[in-house]
Chain A
């Protein structure tokens, strides 16, 4: 194995996969400190352009990397990602490290505790590079709704990197980090993955602990892995997943074996359903073209492709935009300037009600306020049944659509997003157009299933990445990796490498 040593050290460490880096670190060919330093250098170099990070503390990260190096040398850590750096979406509570959720209302707040997945990552010897930019409180599909300015797509800096986890996806796509954590309430991991040519997985609801992840919509939120290839995604998935008694909605069952599935790369005999309702109208031509090609590839690999109708998906967006704002309006009530975060308007005369209202008015951005208003309305007495109540019933119907589909197929597929990355500012004043971005990803959150977005090429008309969404039943996350690894292997063969290698130099 001595031939690897010069190859890794000689190469740009930031271009390596997490798996390669972890192996090299474990073998002592390179230290976590060196790997971490290389990524911090890269961040210093390109982040002024990309703006994927809201917070980086170089000395803290390097100190942590050195501690991990010592622990690895002492044989104290055995994890498939020991020593590998990661970026965390700024929605994760990190003790003593600023956590803003992309909102001005939390400016300067340092949580006094860690999210469960932060603890899991620390225990696995993963080193934190920093916190990534996002749409404020994860409300958005473009990262333009961040209180700290937009993140840019490394494929085209005039375009959005998707959202809400645009910072995490852009950081991975611009080689600032091999791994990132995202959260996905209606597509916030998958849609950014699709438009940045990276891989992202929304695990089964309850598969990864939500404790310490600032809630947007509690019944939809799920954290998950972002990486550049399927194997790295699986490794990260395996580290963060698992039962957590602090999250009552967490599933007390063994984590599906996603690593073996990612190694299998075999779809022979699998039945893949194409969702009839998630193609055609509203979908960009080039997106559909790549999608059809990917289906052909899967078919050539030995999978059977069939069309599946999910009748109630047409109501998913409506149900989602009632459930999400309703839950969010309540989840965000605690941001009132009394116990943490900023406080506005406290002149010693104003009442607590006035100070709360001023803090929320000035601390929240337009999209957050819009959704709080919408949710407050939907939960109001007299409207509950027509809005929130009806939306919860639609949710049942969508879940039934999935159940029916999975009775005859192993996985479902669709394009992840209807279009490639759009221009910054293009949809900012049109919330409805913005919401349509999540049309294909939302049904999965409503039903609690798992799904992956995988790059399947560039759209011919604009040369921008297109993602394929693979959907599996709850707690069958391994199927995503089985299909994903097979398709990725075939595409790498075709292209001579991962699609992300094509990203323009910064």
Chain B
């Protein structure tokens, strides 16, 4: 789809979006049993009768998960319910050991909050308030691996189940319908999820490792003509990165607009997001929708947080993101626009950490917002997913300061680091990436270049100093960029006996 297609949507329609985000909490143990919630263990080694759903087993609620949820609710400006219950959501699926999920239904722990998110526009940063409907607790499912059919569910001959993730605590954050975002709907969706992620990290309730699938988003989109009733919405399931959230909203807006324009109706259904094509495909329709037969979980008793407990948890909340952003912006002395760009790029934490590791603010911002952002864009990934971080930047920056690397060499080093070719030190030594500082080597290279371009040599000697660039370029080329260009120029002029 071209941008023209997208812009065209907005001529006729207003988008309404809604997001349901599931995030795994970073507790030591699972939601309802003492099994380790650690990621990446050997299959079916973090399991017990409870999380395998064996007959007779019973759930017991993890206090830390409840506290994390309450803290998240408070940070999202929600009311904390004085009385809240777990409910069973009944449906059969082989990744769910009990064939019901313990979740919350009509009595969530937190409700009615909001989150302000900032989006970059050509006119400058713009703040949107996303209203939060509810925040509740539930348990994750196991992991399916499909055998045959190229690892996909369709065409597979059978599937294998690892229940290590079954029962890991999740919080689900559901927004109210977000209206009035217009053309910015995809950006608002993305900024919201990024803000949610940062909030959870800031609270220390989860480190939100998106590459491990610990954040999953369901994206609701509908279109309406101005002044008319809201259209039928679709729900695109399991959109698992910031970039995909943005693209899912965008592609679903375009798809719906095309259908509506052709006089067709939007079907209420769930859809799947295809990462490769950036488009959504049809899933389960409302007619086929499961009847989840929710009812209060009889194996558990209500959660009724006292005011004292809530106050205690409120006291543990760290600086809220907007206050922190204002503080950092001032410390770094950057404009609103630059700050918004940093936030939008998801680079705030990374830059702060880089500055904290001793790199100056400008250099930190230059790397993250320049070279690294370009690489992330090319790769279609988030900055944090790049295999480079504050430690490497700090290492490289000190080599630049001591004259051992140039900016250009540093870029080469980072490219290799990100490509996984080794550590900074390994790459420098293996490729011999060092500034050529031996004058005799440089003078030899200058002599060679002068011999090859006698006409240029003459011009310089005749006073056309601007012609020196050609010789400097040749020397840089000969040293494979490992020389300091300013130094080469100075040596050249000395060699020819000219002064500026």
A interface residues (Cβ-Cβ under 8 A, vs B): 91-93, 99, 101, 106, 111-113, 115, 210-215, 217-219, 245-249, 326-327, 329-330, 333-336, 338-340, 348, 352-353, 356, 376, 379-381, 384, 388
B299–A249 contact, CB under 8 A? yes
Q: How far is the CB of B354 from chain A (nearest CB, A)?
A: 46
CA of A249 to CA of B298, assembled, Å: 9
Check A211 against B58 for contact (C-beta < 8 Å).
Answer: yes
Known: A379-B293, A381-B291. A333 touches B92 (CB 8 A): yes
B293 pairs with A356, CB closer than 8 A: no
- Shortest Cβ distance from B34 into A: residue: A246
Task: Tell me, in angstroms, the Cα distance from A353 to B92 when the chains sit together.
Answer: 8
Of the candidates A330, A340, A353, the one whose C-beta lies within 8 Å of that of B90 is: A330
Q: Which residues of A contact B94 (CB under 8 A)?
A: 336, 338, 352
B295 touching A388 by the CB < 8 A rule? yes
Contacting residues of chain B (325-370) with chain A, CB-CB under 8 angstroms: none
A112-B54, A212-B56, A334-B55 are known contacts. Are A248 and B299 too (CB-CB below 8 A)?
Answer: yes
Contact B56 A211 (CB under 8 A): yes
- Chain B's nearest CB lies how many Å from the CB of A233? 24
- Inter-subunit contact A333/B98 (CB<8 Å): yes
**Within 8 Å of chain A (Cβ to Cβ): is B60?**
yes
Q: Is the interface of A mostly helix, strand, loop or mixed?
A: loop
B-chain residues with CB within 8 Å of residue A212 when the two chains form the complex: 49, 56-57
Of the candidates A214, A329, A338, A379, the one whose C-beta lies within 8 Å of that of B56 is A214
- The complex places the Cα of A356 from the Cα of B48 at a distance, in Å, of 22
The one of A93, A214, A334 in contact with B99, judged by C-beta atoms closer than 8 angstroms, is A334
Closest approach, in angstroms, between the C-beta of B101 and any C-beta of chain A? 11
Find chain A residues with CB under 8 A from B90 CB: 329-330, 333, 379
Residues on B with beta carbons closer than 8 Å to the beta carbon of A219? 298
Interface centre among B53, B161, B293 (most CB of A within 10 A): B293
Instruction: Tell me the interface secondary structure of chain B in the complex.
Output: loop
Report if A330-B88 is in contact (Cβ < 8 Å); known contacts: A248-B61, A248-B301: yes
Specify which chain B residues have a CB less than 8 angstroms from the CB of A334 in the assembled complex.
53-55, 97-99
State whether the Cβ of B128 lies closer than 8 Å to any Cβ in chain A. Answer: no
Q: Is B100 an interface residue (CB 8 A)?
A: yes
A333-B90, A339-B53, A339-B97 given; 17 more Cβ-contact pairs under 8 Å: A111-B49, A112-B54, A113-B54, A211-B57, A215-B58, A246-B58, A248-B59, A327-B298, A329-B90, A330-B90, A333-B92, A334-B54, A334-B98, A338-B94, A338-B161, A339-B52, A376-B293
B54-70 to A contact mask, C-beta < 8 Å, 1/0: 11111111000000000
Which residue of chain B has its CB nearest to the CB of A336?
B99
Contact of A215 among B100, B294, B299 (CB under 8 A): B299
Among A112, A335, A379, point to the contact of B49 (Cβ < 8 A).
Answer: A112
Contact B56 A213 (CB under 8 A): yes
Residue of A nearest to B61 (CB): A248
Which residues of chain B have C-beta atoms less than 8 A from A93's C-beta?
Answer: 49, 54-56
Question: What residues on B are CB-neighbors of A338 within 8 Å?
Answer: 94, 161
Q: Closest Cβ of chain B: how far from A329's Cβ, in Å?
A: 8
Q: Is the CB of A249 within 8 A of B99?
A: no
Which residues of chain B come closer than 8 Å to A101, judged between CB atoms?
55
Are the CB atoms of A248 and B295 closer together than 8 Å? no
CB distance from B298 to the nearest CB of A (A): 4
Quick one: CB contact mask for B429-451 with A, threshold 8 Å, 1 for yes? 00000000000000000000000
B7-55, CB < 8 A from A = 48-49, 52-55
Q: Top 6 nearest A-B pairs by Cβ distance?
A: A333-B99, A218-B298, A379-B293, A219-B298, A93-B56, A214-B55
Mark B395-416 against chain A: 1 for CB-CB distance below 8 A, else 0. 0000000000000000000000
**B465 located at the interface, meaning its Cβ lies under 8 Å from any Cβ of chain A in the complex:** no
- Measured CB to CB, the nearest residue on chain A to B161 is A338
User: Is B428 at the interface (CB under 8 A from chain A)?
Assistant: no
A431–B328 CA distance with the chains assembled, in angstroms: 72
CA gap between A329 and B55 in the complex, in Å = 14
- Closest B residue to A219 by beta carbon equals B298
How far is the CB of A351 from the nearest CB of chain B, in Å?
A: 10
Q: Is the CB of A113 within 8 A of B299?
A: no
Are the CB atoms of B295 and A111 closer together than 8 Å? Answer: no
A111 in contact with B299 given A330-B100, A338-B94, A380-B291 (CB within 8 Å): no
B300 within 8 A of A: yes
Q: What are 28 A-B residue pairs whose CB atoms fall within 8 Å in the complex?
A: A93-B49, A101-B55, A111-B49, A111-B54, A111-B55, A112-B54, A113-B48, A210-B58, A211-B57, A247-B58, A248-B60, A248-B300, A248-B301, A330-B88, A330-B90, A330-B293, A330-B295, A333-B100, A334-B55, A339-B52, A339-B53, A339-B97, A353-B92, A356-B92, A379-B294, A380-B291, A380-B293, A384-B293
C-alpha spacing A120/B68, complex, angstroms: 35
Closest chain-A Cβ to B222's Cβ sits at a distance in Å of 22
- With a cutoff of 8 Å between Cβ atoms, the chain A residues found around residue B52 in the complex are 339
Contact B61 A111 (CB under 8 A): no
How far apart are the CA atoms of A444 and B424 in the complex, in Å?
Answer: 73
Q: How far is the CB of B350 from chain A (nearest CB, A)?
A: 42
| B53 cross-chain contacts in A, Cβ below 8 A | 334, 339
Bound complex: CA A112 to CA B54 (Å)? 9
Decide yes or no whether B157 CB sits under 8 A from chain A: yes
CA distance in complex: A393, B469 (Å): 90
A348 vs B61: C-alpha distance when bound (angstroms)? 39
B55 & A335 in contact (Cβ 8 Å cutoff): yes
In the complex, what's the smallest C-beta–C-beta distance from B92 to chain A, in angstroms?
Answer: 6
Complex CA distance for A356 and B99, rounded to whole angstroms = 11
**Known contacts A330-B293, A334-B98; is A215 also within 8 Å of B88 by CB?**
no
Q: Which of B58, B92, B158, B291 contacts A336 (CB 8 A)?
A: B92
Chain B residue, CB-CB nearest to A338: B94
Q: How far is the CA of A213 from the CA of B53 in the complex (A)?
A: 13
Give the residue name and chain of the B residue nearest to A106 (CB).
B55
B158: chain A residues within 8 A (beta carbon): 348
Complex contacts, A384 vs chain B, CB 8 Å:
293-295
Residues in B neighbouring A326, C-beta threshold 8 A: 295
B contact residues around A99 at 8 Å (CB): 55
